[in-house]
Amino acid sequence: MAQEGAGARIVNNLNAFYLSKSHSKPPVLNLLVALICLGSACGGEDPPDITPATLDGDVILFERGEAALAEESWGDARGFFVQVRDNYPQSDFRADARLGVADSYEGQGGSAQYTSALAEYEDFLRLYPTHPRAAYAQFKLAIVHHHQMRQPERDQSWTQSAIEQFESFIERFPSSDFIPEATVYLREAKDRLSDSEYLVGEYYYRNEWWPGAVDRFETIAQSDPEYSRREAVYFYLADAYFNNGDFQEALQIFQQLLQEFPQSEFLADTQLSIVNIENRVAEQAGSDSEAGAGSDEVETQSPR
């Protein structure tokens, strides 16, 4: 090796220098030679392989896995964690190594990696249901479902499963530190599912097919009362009822809109619609009253 040749030359030069002055090497030279030889022998080489016979090998491998994970070296991290999982059945780090394998797949991303991550998290929960990190595994399992949610106009199977997984996590681990974060993710998933219904309802509304619009917006209002866009849902649902001739239903929804969103962007249109409905209802009541009076008059005159 080049390093060893350089080290040998240095040692020989030093030896020649001191031998020219004396017939024996001083103790300090012996120490210097030893240090140079040690440096030349070890410099630039990879650390030795870790085997099951290595003292604290599982600890070393696990720490390397964590370091690689922090650096987003997903394949390297996975390799270290797999060694701990497969070669050290009695290790205290084995369960955490399983999570490390799952985390490496989740961090790497991609359809195939997500499939592997789901399998790893599910295996952990099956093998260690009462482990202190079971909450973490359930949370990350839901996260992987969330990663795969599609846009509102596409299939929402992953969105539905993400909702189920986050709800399961919140139910099983109500005191977990991940609850606030899980609540945010759950709201995002529910919004995505409702967005899918909203797009269809909006399409029907634009094309003036009022029964279809009513059906879609009513579904959102009933199934997801905390929907982030419920202000718009209320308005379009009420207006669809109005255009379909269902004035009482429209009036109720318009009033609910004003109650929940007094500064609504639909305020002017909502107030105008309420006045319009009230006038129509009053006119209808007057027409019914006149019709009833006419009927009574016919009845009193008929015996003559």
Question: For 13-42, how does the pLDDT look when each residue is reduced to its tens digit (9 = 90+)?
Answer: 434 433 344 444 444 434 333 333 334 344
Residue 214 lies in a domain: no
Is-contact 101 81, C-beta < 8 A?
Answer: yes
Q: What is the pLDDT of residues 181-216, one digit of tens each?
A: 999 999 999 999 999 999 999 999 999 999 999 999
Residue 93 falls within a domain, yes or no? Answer: yes
Residue 131 lies in a domain: no
Tell me what the pLDDT averaged over the chain comes to: 84
User: Is 301 among the domain residues?
Assistant: no
pLDDT on residue 283: 79
Percent of the chain clearing pLDDT 90 (strictly above): 72
Residue type, 278: E
pLDDT at 80 over 90: yes
Residue 3 has pLDDT above 80, yes or no: no
61 and 25 fall within a common domain = no
Residue 42: its pLDDT value, please? 43
Pair 26, 77 in one domain: no
Q: Is 253 exposed, middle or buried (0-12, 13-18, 19+ CB in 10 A)?
A: buried
pLDDT at site 291: 62
Give domain status of residue 297, yes or no. no
Q: Is residue 69 part of a domain?
A: yes
Q: What pLDDT, on a 0 to 100 scale, did the predictor assign at position 36?
A: 39
In the predicted structure, residue 73 carries a pLDDT above the cut 90: yes
Residue that is last in its domain, among 70, 99, 126: 126
> What is the structure's pLDDT at 21?
43
**What CATH number does the domain containing 71 carry?**
1.25.40
Residue 73 belongs to domain spanning:
55-126
pLDDT given for residue 208 in this prediction: 97
| Domain-ending residue, one of 103, 126, 149 | 126
| Residue 111 belongs to a domain | yes
Does 46 score more than 90 pLDDT? Answer: no
Structure tokens at 74: 């997903």
Can you list the alpha helix ranges (DSSP code H) found in 154-229? 157-172, 179-206, 210-223
Q: What is the pTM of this model?
A: 0.75
CA nearest to 174, candidates 183, 186, 163: 183
Same-domain status, 3 and 38 = yes
The count of C-alpha atoms lying within 13 angstroms of the C-alpha of 204, restricted to the half-sphere facing its C-beta, is 21
Residue 104 maps to a domain: yes
| Domain co-membership, 36 together with 60 | no
**Which of 75, 107, 126 delimits the end of a domain?**
126
Q: Which residue has the higher pLDDT, 126 or 288?
A: 126
Q: Using a CB cutoff of 8 Å and minimum separation of 24, what contacts does 223-230 make?
A: 223/194, 224/190, 224/193, 224/194, 226/187, 226/190, 227/190, 227/191, 227/194, 228/187, 228/191, 229/191, 229/194, 229/195, 229/198, 230/260
- Structurally, how many domains does the chain consist of? 2
**Residues 39 and 61 reside in one and the same domain:** no
- Report the C-alpha gap between 200 and 204 in whole angstroms: 6
